[in-house]
Structure 1
Amino acid sequence: MIFGLPIHPLVVHAAVILMPAAALAALVMSYLPSFSRRYGKLVLGVSILGLISLFAARWSGEKLQEIVGVEIERHQNWGNLTPFISIPLVALIYIRWRMDREGANIGSPAIRRSVSILLVLAALISLVYVALSGHSGAELVWGWVSKN
C-alpha cells in the first residue's frame, strides 16, 4: 500500500507500457542493426524496467488478492506466467544489442538470423501474454461497465 492505496494498479501501468514498448522496439532491432546500435542500450534498459514491473505487478497482485479476497483465477494465471515468459525477451535484446554494437563482429550470418527469429518470437509471445494478463485484469476491474 502507498498512502493507503494498493500498489498493484500503479505497477501494472508501468508493466503494460514498458514491456510492450520494449517488445515493439525489439521487433525493429531484429531487422535494423542500425537501430539496435543506436537504441539497443535504451531498449535493454526499458525491457529490464518492464520485467521488474511485471514481477512487481505479480507480487502486488498477490497482496491485493489477500486484501480483497476475490477469486481472480484467470487473471492470476496470466499474471503468474507473464514475467517468466518475458525473461527470454530481455536476454535476447541484450544478445542482439551486443551483436550489433559498433565494431562488433559476433556471430555468423546464420547465428545472427537465428537470434533475430528468436527475438521476434520472444517479442510476440511477450506482447500476447502482457495483453492477455492486462485485459483479464481490466475485465475484473471494469467489466461491470460493459454490463450496464
Structure 2
Amino acid sequence: MPEFIGGLPLHPLIVHFVVVLLVIAPLGAVLSALWPAVRRRFGWLAFAASAVATALVPVATASGENLANRVGTNPLVQAHERLADMMIWWALGLTVALGALMVVHTRAERKTTAQVAVGGGGAEEALTGEQRKAPALVMIVLAVVTVGVAVGTGIHVYRVGDAGARAVWEGVQNLPPQNGG
C-alpha cells in the first residue's frame, strides 16, 4: 500500500472517506430502523455505506500506523491510535446490525407480497396470530439494536476524529504567524 498519494499522506485521505461514510451510515441506520418508508427506499444504501466504511477502516488504521512510524509518537498520537483500533468493531457491529435488520425486513416484504399475489384474503387468513407477532418482535429488537450500535458508532467516530485532530493541531494556536501573515 502506498504511503503517499500526490505528495500527501494516504492516512488523511482515507480517513475522510471513512468519516463521511460513518456519518451517513449511522444516520441512515437510525432512520431505517425507525421509519419503514426510509427503510424500504434507503436501507440497503445505508447498509452499503456501512459495509464500504467497514472495509476502509483497516486501510485507514494501517495508513495511520505507517504515518506514525514516520512522524513519531507522542501521547496524543497514542490516544488516537488506541481509539482508532476500536473503530473496526463499531463499524462491523453497525454493518451486521443494519444488515440483519434489512434481511428480516426484505424477507417480510417478500412474504407479504407473495401472500397478496396468491390470492389475498385466503393466504392472509392462513397466518396465525403468533406467526404475525414473531417477525414484528424480531424487527423491534433489531431496530433497537441497530439504533444503539448506530449511536455508539457515531460517538466513537467523533472521539477518534477529535483525538486525531488534537494530535495534529494541539498547540498550533500558540505559534506565531509565519510568512508575514
When normalised by structure 1's length, the TM-score is 0.91
Q: Give 1:144 deviation, angstroms.
A: 2.4
Q: Give 1:23 deviation, angstroms.
A: 0.4
Query: Is 1:115 aligned to residue 118 of structure 2?
Result: no
Partner of 1:133: 160
Relative distance call for 1:104 and 1:144 in structure 2 (3 A) is farther
Q: Give 1:79 deviation, angstroms.
A: 0.5
Structure 2 counterparts to residues 5-16 of structure 1, below 5 A: 5-16=8-19
Task: Select the structure of larger CA radius of gyration.
Answer: 2
Structure 2 counterparts to residues 1-148 of structure 1, below 5 A: 1-71=4-74, 72-101=77-106, 102-104=109-111, 107-148=134-175
Following the alignment from structure 1 to structure 2, what is the Cα–Cα distance between the partners of residues 23 and 119? 9
Following the alignment from structure 1 to structure 2, what is the Cα–Cα distance between the partners of residues 132 and 83? 14
What SS does structure 2 have at the residue aligned with 1:108? Answer: helix
Q: Tell me, which stretches of 5 or more residues in structure 1 are unaligned?
A: none
Following the alignment from structure 1 to structure 2, what is the Cα–Cα distance between the partners of residues 41 and 131? 24
Equivalenced residue count is: 148
Instruction: For residues 40-77 of structure 1, give each alpha carbon's deviation from its aligned partner in whole angstroms, at most 9, with x where no partner exists.
Output: 22111111111122221111101111111122111011
Following the alignment from structure 1 to structure 2, what is the Cα–Cα distance between the partners of residues 35 and 113? 16
Q: Work out whether residues 18 and 47 of structure 1, in 8 Å CA contact, stay in contact via their aligned partners in 2.
A: yes
Following the alignment from structure 1 to structure 2, what is the Cα–Cα distance between the partners of residues 64 and 109? 48
What SS does structure 1 have at the residue aligned with 2:165? Answer: helix
What SS does structure 2 have at the residue aligned with 1:70? Answer: coil
**Over the residues paired in the alignment, what is the CA RMSD in angstroms?**
1.7
* Identity %, equivalent residues: 26
